[in-house]
Amino acid sequence: MSPQSQQIAIGAHVDQADPVGEARERGVPLVQMFLGDPQGYRGPEIQHPGGAAGLREEAAEAGVDLYVHAPYIVNVATTNNRIRIPSRKLLQQHVDAAAEIGAKGLIVHGGHVNKADDPSIGFDNWRKAVEATDLKVPLLIENTAGGDNAMTRYLERIAGVWAAIEGTEGADMVGFCLDTCHAHAGGNDLETVVADVLAITGRIDLVHANDSRDEFGSGADRHANFGAGRIDPDLLAAVVRDAAAPVVMETPGPAEAHVADAAWLRDRL
């Protein structure tokens, strides 16, 4: 195991009610969670009994880093005003809530445009969203698995988003979250994906380490536990090693499954 791979922090996506307790149960230094309903527009909700300040304090005392995943429905790229405008509002609300709990970053999916739309409109909508949002914490845009109209499934689309954002006020607060299942299912070669992404974005801030239930290029976003899916184990570990960023496992199952997955990954690092 190289010194670099020994230092990679591995955590997990957990339930939002007691994230620090969930971290302790798994013996991990970082956790990711939703704040509220991942499929709803109602806005963030802090379920911790001590509220945002209580959660921030508890996490700091325990030495646990917190990451927040924005709701899946956020789509700031779309030309549909009835989705884009509420999405921007929801994004700002989650940035604010993530800052209140002391989160290290807010992860958001790249979204998509409609079938008949020119992708460049989506790129420019991303620029406008970054300009319009007060980024109090790093905003980590995540690659997605499916859809020909997606903004961050294909490398050339990721490049389009980044080119549009570059030079925009707040661009220094925009980072990248690389999901291994999404990259595999999206048809991106895992042997080169880290170098490919770094060539575009200059940074990988977080890795979502997941095996994939489905074949390469399937477009299916179905996570699997390590070794139970279709991604070559050595390749999965190589992506984590090469990215050299903190890791969130979004693999299925309770705490014991995450403990087993973390041990599997450490063995291969």
The pLDDT confidence band at residue 14, using thresholds 50, 70 and 90, is very high
Considering only the C-alpha atoms of the chain, give the largest distance between any 2 of them, rounded to a whole number of Å.
51
Does the structure show a pLDDT above 80 at 190? yes
Average pLDDT, integer, range 187-216: 98
CATH of the domain at 246: 3.20.20.150
The pLDDT confidence band at residue 4, using thresholds 50, 70 and 90, is low
Share of the chain above pLDDT 90, in %: 97
Euclidean distance between CA atoms 223 and 144, whole angstroms? 12
Helix, strand or coil, per DSSP, at residue 196:
helix
Predicted confidence at residue 5, as pLDDT, reads 61
Q: Which of 240, 106, 87, 119 is nearest to 170 (CA)?
A: 106
182 touches 145 (CB < 8 A): yes
Q: Which of 170, 38, 173, 48 is nearest to 101 (CA)?
A: 48
Which residues are registered as beta bridge partners of 176? 141
Does the structure show a pLDDT above 60 at 130? yes
Does the structure show a pLDDT above 80 at 254? yes
Does the structure show a pLDDT above 70 at 65? yes
For the stretch 84-112, pLDDT in tens is 999 999 999 999 999 999 999 999 999 99
Predicted confidence at residue 228, as pLDDT, reads 98
Euclidean distance between CA atoms 85 and 66, whole angstroms? 27
Predicted confidence at residue 150, as pLDDT, reads 98
- Beta carbons within 10 angstroms of residue 126's beta carbon: 24
Name the pTM for this structure: 0.97
Predicted confidence at residue 160, as pLDDT, reads 98
The pLDDT confidence band at residue 80, using thresholds 50, 70 and 90, is very high
Average pLDDT, integer, range 50-67: 98
For the stretch 143-181, pLDDT in tens is 999 999 999 999 999 999 999 999 999 999 999 999 999
Tokens of 53: 């300040």
Q: Which of 171, 151, 3 is nearest to 77 (CA)?
A: 151
Amino acid at 198: L
Domain count, the chain: 1
Domain that holds residue 50: 3-268
Average pLDDT, integer, range 246-254: 97
Helix, strand or coil, per DSSP, at residue 44:
coil
Predicted confidence at residue 2, as pLDDT, reads 52
The pLDDT confidence band at residue 6, using thresholds 50, 70 and 90, is low
Predicted confidence at residue 202, as pLDDT, reads 98
Does the structure show a pLDDT above 70 at 3? no
195 touches 155 (CB < 8 A): no
Euclidean distance between CA atoms 66 and 142, whole angstroms? 17
Mean pLDDT score of the chain: 97
CA 226 to chain centre: 18
